[in-house]
C-alpha cells in the first residue's frame, strides 16, 4: 500500500514562495511516476508537474518557470518549490504516484491515471 502525505501549504501574499512536501512510503522510488496536481472549488483536478526520475520533469504551461518538482531519494520525499505565486495558484495541492511507465505517456496529465493520492495541502494566495 502506497502512502503519500503532503505538507507545507499556507496562506501567502502574491509574489511569495512556498515549498510543498510529499512524504512517501515508496520502497523503490525510481519505479514510480510522481506528480503534483491541484484543484480549486468547482474545477477539475489539474496536473501541475510530473517527475520521471530517470528522465526529465514536465510542467503545465501555467507554472513553467515558477514551479520546480524535485525529490530526495534518501528521505523519500517529493517536493514542489513554488515561486512568484499569484491568486490563480490558490488551490488544494495533491501529490500522486503511478507506475513509472505513465511518465512517458500522454495520460500522465490525467488525474484518473494515478491510483495513489495524498490527502492534499491548501495553498491560498492573496493579492
- pLDDT per 10-residue tile (average), the chain, 127 residues: 94 98 86 94 96 79 96 90 97 95 92 97 97
| Closest to 22 in 3D by CA, of 4, 37, 44, 36 | 4
Looking at residue 27, its pLDDT comes to: 76
Separation of alpha carbons 102 and 20, rounded Å: 22
pLDDT of residue 53: 66
Q: Widest CA span of the chain, in angstroms?
A: 41
HSE on the CB side for 2, CA within 13 Å?
23
Q: Supply 37's cell numbers.
A: 496536481
pLDDT digits (tens, 9 = 90+) for 99-109: 989 998 999 99
R_g of the chain, CA atoms, integer Å: 13
Reduced DSSP (H G I as helix, E B as strand, rest coil) percent helix, strand, coil of the chain, to 5: 15, 50, 40
Q: Kindly report the CA angle at 37 between 114 and 50, in degrees rounded to 5?
A: 70
Q: How far is the C-alpha of 114 from the C-alpha of 127, rounded, in Å?
A: 33
- Please give the Cα distance from 94 to 5 (Å, whole number): 9
**Residue whose C-alpha is closest to residue 25's, from 78, 83, 84:** 78
Amino acid at each position: 500500500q502506497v502512502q503519500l502525505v503532503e505538507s507545507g501549504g499556507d496562506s501567502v501574499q502574491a509574489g511569495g514562495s512556498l515549498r510543498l512536501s510529499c512524504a512517501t512510503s515508496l520502497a523503490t522510488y525510481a519505479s514510480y511516476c510522481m506528480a503534483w496536481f491541484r484543484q480549486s472549488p468547482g474545477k477539475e483536478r489539474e496536473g501541475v508537474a510530473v517527475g520521471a526520475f530517470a528522465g526529465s520533469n514536465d510542467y503545465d504551461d501555467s507554472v513553467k518557470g515558477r514551479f520546480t518538482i524535485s525529490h530526495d531519494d534518501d528521505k523519500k520525499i517529493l517536493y514542489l518549490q513554488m515561486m512568484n505565486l499569484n491568486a490563480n495558484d490558490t488551490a488544494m495541492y495533491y501529490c500522486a504516484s503511478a507506475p513509472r511507465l505513465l511518465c512517458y505517456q500522454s495520460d500522465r496529465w490525467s488525474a484518473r491515471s494515478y491510483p495513489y493520492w495524498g490527502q492534499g495541502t491548501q495553498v491560498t494566495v492573496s493579492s
